[in-house]
Amino acid sequence: MYHSYPYPSKRSAVYAPAMALASTPLAAEAGRTVLEQGGNAIDAAIAMAAAQTVVEPTSNGLGSDLFTVFSFGGALYGFNGSGKSPASISPEALQKKGFDKIPPYGIEPVGVPGAVDAWRTVHEAFGALSFLEVLAPAIRYAKDGFVISPTVSALWARELRTRKHCTGPVFDAFWHTFAPEGRAPRPGEIFSNPDQAETLIAIAESKTEAFYRGTLAEKISEFSATFGGFLSAADLAAHQTLRVEPLSLDFEGTTVYELPPNGHGISVLMALAMLKPWKIDLDTPLGVHRTVEAVKRAMTDCARFVTDPDHMRVRCEDLLSDAFIRRRRDDIADTAKIVEYCHPLAPSTVYFAVGDTAGNMVSMIQSNYDGFGSGVVVPGTGISLNNRLLNFSLEAGHDNILAGGKRPYHTIIPGFLTKDGAPYAAFGVMGGFMQPQGHVQTLLRLLVSGANPQAALDAPRFMWTGEDRIACESTYAPEILDFLRASGHAVTIPGDELDMGRGQILVRENGVYCGGTEKRCDGYIAALY
C-alpha cells in the first residue's frame, strides 16, 4: 500500500523567500533548520549533504563523491569533490587478483571518498555557522533515529536483493549496518546508525582531519589492507577538492552552466547545442525523437573522451565547437540510429538545492555511484564506501583507462542557470546515466515550453539505455510512443519510476523562489517564510 498510488494527482509549485529541496523530507528539513538558525545557503546545503548520507544511504554515504555549482554574493563558483583512484591500482594489478574486469562489489572498486573534504572546503570559504552546527541534524538523525520514507524503503529492499550474493567477511559490516534484522526497514519504521553518528561527530570536531589523516583514515586503510584492497592512508591524505570553472552555453535567454570533466555535464551542453535551432517541443513525436538522437550522440562522445581533466586528450572547446556540433546535428535523421563516437578533431545519487533570503543559491549532488556503492562498510564507523572505479575503462588506449591516482569519468552533475548575468536557477536530476538526459528534458520543458519548475519535473521522461533502446514512461501520449516505434526506436515501458531520474528545480525571480520537487520519489520542499 505504501508504494501504490493508482490515481492521478498534482503538486503545485512552491513559492517562498527561502527554501531547501531534496529527495527526502528529512534532508530538506535539515536545510531549513540550519537556515532558521542563521546559516546561509552554503551551510544549509552541507547540512543536507550530511543528512542525506544518513536518511538516504541507498544512494550515497560518507564514502561518496560530491560536485557543486552555486552563486554566492552574485558570483558563480564550481567545486569538484571527486576522489582519485588509489595510487597502486592498475589493470595489471586487478588481473593479478584474478579479475578480467572491474568488479562491482567488494574492496576493489573503491576510490578515494571526496564528499567529506568538499563539505569542509566549501564551508571554510563560505559558511556562517560552525561546522558542528551544520552537521548537527545529520548527527541527530543517525544517533536518535529517523523515520523511513516510502521510496527509500523500496530502494533499500531492491539494493539488498541485488547484493544477496555479497557474503563473506568483507561484507559483514554492511549487513550488520544496513540489514540488522535481515531485511530492509519498512516505511514508517525508525532506523538509527550510532556508528555513523560517532563518525560524523569526529568529522565535525576535527573539521574532517580525522577522516583523511586521523583515526578514521587509519580504520579505512587498515580495513582495505586486510582484504587486499588498494585504498591506502596515503591516498586519503593526498586528496584535494578542486575549484573549477563551470562550462556554459547560451540557450533560450539563459546561460546554462555545467561543471567540466571529469563529470559528463558537458554532454548536456552538447545535446542542447544540437537541438537549439529546432525549438524542441517535447509534447510532439518529432521533438522527442530528435532529443533522443541528440542525447545519444552527446553521451556516446563523452563516454569516449571524458576522463580526469589532467588526462583529457580532447579539449572541452572542441566538443562544444560550432563545427563539431553541426556535424553531430547533421547526423540526426528521421529514423533511430545506433551511433558510434565521433572524434571532434575530424577523425544511484542524491541531488538537492537550496536558496537563502540573500539570493545565494546552491546546486549540489553526491553519490556512492551504484546504490549503496561497493557494498562495503568500514566496521564500527558507518562509512559505506563507493564503487566509483566502475566508471573507468579497461580498454587499452582508452582516454578513460584505469590507472593509479586518476579521477574517473563521473556521472553526477549539478546544473545552474543565469539570466541577464544574474543567478536564476539551480537544477539537477539524479540517477546514474539518466542524469544528463534528465537535465536536457527538464530544461527543454522549463526554457522552451515555459513550464513552471514543478510541471517541468512532472512531465513524462525517456531514458536512452544503449543502441536503439529507450525506456519511455507510460504517461507519454500514445501517438508519441507509436511514432517512436515506427521510427526504429526499441521502446519499452518501465514497470516503475525508480530509474527515471529524481530532480529538483529552484528558480528565483523578483526576490522570491519558485521550487519544484520530484514526484518519482519522496521529494520535498522545506520553505522558510
Q: CA–CA distance from 164 to each of 168, 182, 189, 334, 375 (Å)?
A: 11, 11, 22, 44, 10
Domain extent at residue 384: 14-238+351-391
10 Å Cβ neighbour count for 359? 18
| Residues 513, 383 share a domain | no
Q: Are residues 134 and 273 in the same domain?
A: no
Clarify whether residues 84 and 109 are in a common domain: yes
Query: What would the pLDDT profile of 48-66 be if each residue is shown by its tens digit?
Result: 999 999 999 999 999 999 9
232 and 116 assigned to the same domain: yes
- Assess whether 75 and 197 both reside in one domain: yes
Give domain status of residue 7, yes or no: no
Are the CB atoms for 374 and 227 separated by under 8 Å?
no
Are 107 and 187 contained in the same domain? Answer: yes
Is residue 402 domain-resident? no
In a domain, 84, yes or no: yes
Same domain, 67 and 161: yes
Considering the domain architecture, whether residues 309 and 458 belong to the same structural domain is answered as yes
| Structure confidence at residue 10 (pLDDT) | 87
Cα of first residue to Cα of last residue in the chain, in angstroms, is 34
Please provide residue 419's backbone torsions phi and psi, each rounded to the nearest 5 degrees: -140, 125
Name the nearest CA neighbour of 457 among 526, 515, 528.
Answer: 515
Residue 527 lies in a domain: no
Per the structure, the count of domains in the chain is 2
Q: What is the pLDDT of residue 8?
A: 78
pLDDT averaged over 10-residue windows placed end to end, the chain, 529 residues = 76 96 97 98 98 97 98 97 98 95 96 98 98 98 97 95 96 98 96 98 98 98 97 98 98 98 97 97 98 97 94 94 96 94 64 97 96 96 97 93 96 96 96 92 98 97 95 96 98 90 95 96 95
Please give the C-alpha separations between residue 132 and each of 207, 214, 242, 523, in angstroms, as whole numbers: 8, 18, 23, 26
Asked if residue 528 is part of any domain, the answer here is no
Q: What is the pTM of this model?
A: 0.96
Q: Are residues 368 and 261 in the same domain?
A: no
Residue count (the chain) = 529
Is 179 found in the same domain as 63? Answer: yes
Place of cell 523567500: 17
Angle at 385 between CA 382 and CA 391, to 5 degrees: 160
pLDDT tens for residues 421-460? Answer: 999 999 999 988 899 999 999 999 999 999 999 999 999 9
In a domain, 526, yes or no: no
Residue 97 lies in a domain: yes
Q: What is the pLDDT of residue 347?
A: 39
Same domain? For 281 and 378 the reply is: no
Asked if the structure places residue 163 within a domain, the reply is yes
Residues 299 and 384 placed together within one structural domain of the fold? no
CATH number of the structural domain spanning residue 284: 1.10.246.130
User: Which active-site residues does the annotation give?
Assistant: 349
DSSP state at residue 391: G
